[in-house]
Amino acid sequence: MDIQYVYQKERREFGKQCLFSDKNKVEFSEPANHDLFREYILRDPVSVGTQYSRQMAISEANTESAEYEHHGILHSEGGWPKDVNYLDPEQTVRYRRKVEKDENYISQLMALTKPMEHCIFQNNAVNIYEKYFDDLEPAPLIERSSSRTLNVYRDPSIYKQPVTHLSWSPDGGTKIAVSHCNMNFGEVLGKSVCSYIWEVENPNAPLLRFKPTSSMICLEYNQKDPTTLVCGMYNGQVAAWDTRNEQEPVMISEREHSHRAPVNSALWINSKSGTEFFSGSSDSQVMWWDTRKLSQPIDKLLMDPIKADEQDLSRSYGVSCLEYETSIPTRFMCGTEQGMLFSCNRKGKSPQEKIVFRMQCHTGPIYALTRNPAFVKNFLTIGDWIARIWSEDCRESSIVWTKNHDVMLTDGAWSPTRYSLFFVSRVDGVLDAWDLLQQHSEPTLSIKVCDESLKCLRAHESGRLVGTGSVKGATFLIEMSENMTSIRNDKPLLTAMLERENRREKILEAKSREMKLKVRTLNRQDEHTEDKPKLFQCRSACEAAEQEYLQMLEKERKSRHPEEYEEEYDPKKVRKPYKPENYESDGENE
């Protein structure tokens, strides 16, 4: 059954009908403008493109279609003569030997190899209908390194004090401890500055507030207990804090047995009780403590650069930073205010055995000292205007270093997840990210964090977040892009690079030692030649240098202008070196 429905609409509902008529009336007239005609330029030649042109040729190309069918087949052994029973193995073996002895067998077999080889090659050929790249992973797009500032934690006090140290909590980095201290001597006397613990997701107000007797320079979380912290203060004391009791420290050291200068660094160490830590100060001392009894230190060590039977405090260097790796519990390193690095072993019985080796790393204080999380033999030092990467196998010089910056560097840290990446903070408020696998001349990413100077930084254990503190008491939380967190083959590529740089530095060290040995032997030979006057030795060396210079000059002039060189160079005309036997030994010549 066909159903139809007709829609009807009256003529008046369509609108007014349009009627056209001829009228002798001009609505608009534009006269000719001869000035515009002068600007008209003829184009010659003129090439005009059209959408359609005459077809000159026609051709077709196509591949032959292949049809495939699937059938089942039942194969049974056959082709045997009637007098041979194929179920009897003796008859089949006897018949095979008879056929193989036939003269036509080899020729027929050789004739069958060519079509068989053709079929094999045809089978191994590329099938244009097959999809070869379905299972492969697509190549990752190159993502540009970027960052953004997530939160800013500002000092809630009226007088803003610089941030001197940051420490992430061991419970996944949900909290960050920030210590504030003004290191200017005149502004510190008689003042106590608070330090804070912030929740990462709440930048409005601090979670806890610590008010010590003296300003904290460093505040460090215990990696085994998220409720315990230790701090080093400006007056040389160290204290242990508990987040459950924020008003007063749990334990504080006695002034008589504490440091005599500000405590620049304090780090926890591996111990059975989990309550031991050590501290370094500008008074050249490293002290070991136990939070259960801070009345006096467990052990002491002076950073004396001279190996002697007894250490002297007057010639020791002040400690600016400490480094401790949990995988090497008995080893630690100290960076000094004079730019010298001390590698120490706590198991040594005497001070000479405790200090394993010394290296001069920078011309000024070492502000940061940290080992690579994957390659503990390689460590990063920050000082003056440059960042250097060292190896314990090469002690003469660093294996990798950055360019000399226009401004001073203040702190540095490795990325915990991407081992080839490290961060550097600068005085002009810029945070640099250096990738060793990409380039050594320029940083991969430079972030203008603020206008004031950055004092310290610390990377989160996830590698995505970096915290940095400024002079005006603000702590900035910066999130890095995903490509700066981890990449494929990061560890093997960095291993190959570090091994290559180690070999290069060892070769240079061997050449340097060889040159020093030659200079030393020459100096000894000069000391034994006392019969020859020193004046004659000096003159003979000058004459030999002058003769060599003249020979090189004449050779270069002859090679550049052969047509103008009329007279051939005669080496006999060059003045001979001055020797005492060539002159008379009278008083005037002497």
> 58-109: per-residue pLDDT in tens?
666 566 677 778 777 666 666 788 788 888 888 888 888 888 888 888 888 8
Question: 10 pLDDT band (50/70/90 cuts)?
Answer: confident
CA max distance for the chain:
147
Instruction: Check if the beta carbon of residue 208 is closer than 8 Å to that of residue 194.
Output: no
| CA–CA–CA angle 348, 352, 353 (5° rounding) | 25
Q: Considering only 182-191, 250-259, 295-304, 577-586, which range has the smallest mean pLDDT?
A: 577-586
Determine which of 34-38, 121-125, 183-187 has the lowest per-residue pLDDT on average: 183-187
| pLDDT at site 142 | 61
Give me the mean pLDDT over the 33-50 stretch. Answer: 76
Q: What is the pLDDT of residue 61?
A: 59
Question: Which class is domain 145-505?
Answer: mainly beta
CB 435 within 8 A of CB 544: no
Tens digits of residue pLDDT in 217-241: 999 998 888 889 999 998 889 999 9
Question: pLDDT at position 127, please?
Answer: 66
Q: What is the pLDDT averaged over residues 385-391?
A: 90
Is the predicted pLDDT of residue 425 greater than 90, yes or no? yes
- Enter the tokens of residue 30: 């534009």
What's the full length of the chain, in residues?
590
What pLDDT does 1 receive? 57
Contact (Cβ atoms closer than 8 angstroms) between residue 428 and residue 453: yes
Mean pLDDT of the chain: 81
163-167, 241-245, 368-372, 472-476: which range is least confident on average? 241-245
Beta strand 454-459 with 465-470: parallel, antiparallel or unpaired?
A: antiparallel
In the prediction, which pLDDT does 280 show?
92
CA quadruple 200, 203, 205, 211: dihedral, nearest 10: 60
Cβ-proximal residues to 8 (8 Å cutoff; 6+ apart), any chain: none
Q: What angle do CA 485, 489, 490 make, to 5 degrees?
A: 45
Averaged over 477-482, what is the pLDDT? 90
Binned at pLDDT 50, 70 and 90, residue 468 comes out as: very high
Q: Is residue 145 a contact partner of residue 415, using CB atoms and an 8 Å limit?
A: no
Alpha helix ranges (H) inside 529-573: 534-560
pLDDT score, position 588: 41
Structure tokens belonging to residue 246: 């924020």
Average pLDDT over residues 428-439: 89
pLDDT, position 63: 60
Q: What percent of the chain has pLDDT over 70?
A: 83
Per-residue confidence at 578, pLDDT binned at 50, 70, 90?
very low
CA distance 476 to 147: 12
**Three-state DSSP state, 515:** helix
Q: Which pTM does this prediction carry?
A: 0.63
pLDDT band at 176 (very low <50, low <70, confident <90, very high): very high
Whether the per-residue pLDDT at 154 is higher than 50: the answer is: yes
Q: What is the phi-psi region of residue 172: left when phi exceeds 0, alpha when psi lies from -120 to 50, beta otherwise?
A: left
Domain ranges of the chain: 145-505
Rounded Cα–Cα distance for residues 465 and 153 (Å)? 14
As a whole number of angstroms, the distance between CA 271 and CA 275 comes to 7
Residues 6+ apart with CB under 8 A from 570: none
Least confident of 139-148, 214-223, 264-273, 502-511: 139-148
Q: Are 327 and 376 in contact (CB under 8 A)?
A: yes
Query: What residues contact residue 176 under an 8 Å CB cut-off, 6+ apart?
Result: 153, 166, 167, 168, 169, 197, 198, 200, 458, 467, 475, 477
Q: What are phi and psi of 570, to 5 degrees?
A: -115, 110
Read off the amino acid at residue 10.
Answer: E
Angle made by CA atoms 328, 333, 334, in degrees to the nearest 5: 160
Q: Give the distance from CA 281 to its chain's centroid.
A: 30
Q: Which residue has the higher pLDDT, 201 or 54?
A: 201
Which range among 67-71, 192-196, 427-431 shows the weakest confidence by mean pLDDT?
67-71
Distance CA(538)–CA(237), nearest Å, equals: 61
Task: Outline where 428-572 has alpha helix (H).
Answer: 490-528, 534-560
**Is pLDDT of 568 > 70?**
no
Q: Are 463 and 417 in contact (CB under 8 A)?
A: yes
Give the pLDDT band of residue 414 (cuts 50, 70, 90): very high
Indicate if the pLDDT at residue 576 is higher than 50: no
State the amino acid at position 74 in one-letter form.
L
Burial 285-323 (b: 16+ CB within 10 A, else e): bbbbbbbeebeebeeebbbbeeeeeebeeeebbbbbbbb
- Are 255 and 219 in contact by the 8 Å Cβ rule? The answer is no
CB neighbour list of residue 222: distance below 8 Å, 6 or more residues apart: 170, 228, 229, 230, 268, 274
Q: Return the minimum-mean-pLDDT range out of 26-30, 92-96, 347-351, 402-406.
A: 26-30
- CA distance to 179, 246, 265, 578, per residue, from 192 (Å): 12, 15, 19, 76
Flag whether pLDDT at 534 surpasses 80.
no
Q: Which two tokens stand for residue 278?
A: 């050590």
| Residue range 197-226: mean pLDDT, rounded | 89
Q: What is the pLDDT of residue 466?
A: 92
Dihedral sign computed on CA atoms, order 109, 114, 117, 119: negative
Q: What is the mean pLDDT of residues 491-499?
A: 88
Whole-number pLDDT of residue 57:
61
Amino acid (1-letter code) at residue 262: P
- Which two structure tokens, joined as six digits, stand for 486? 């981890």
Round to whole Å and give the CA distance between 590 and 583: 9
Q: Read off the pLDDT band of 192 (50, 70, 90).
A: low
Q: How far is the C-alpha of 387 from the C-alpha of 334, rounded, in Å?
A: 16
pLDDT of residue 64: 66
- Of residues 30 and 464, the one with the higher pLDDT is 464
Burial class of residue 124 (count of CB atoms within 10 Å of its CB; 0-12, 13-18, 19+): exposed
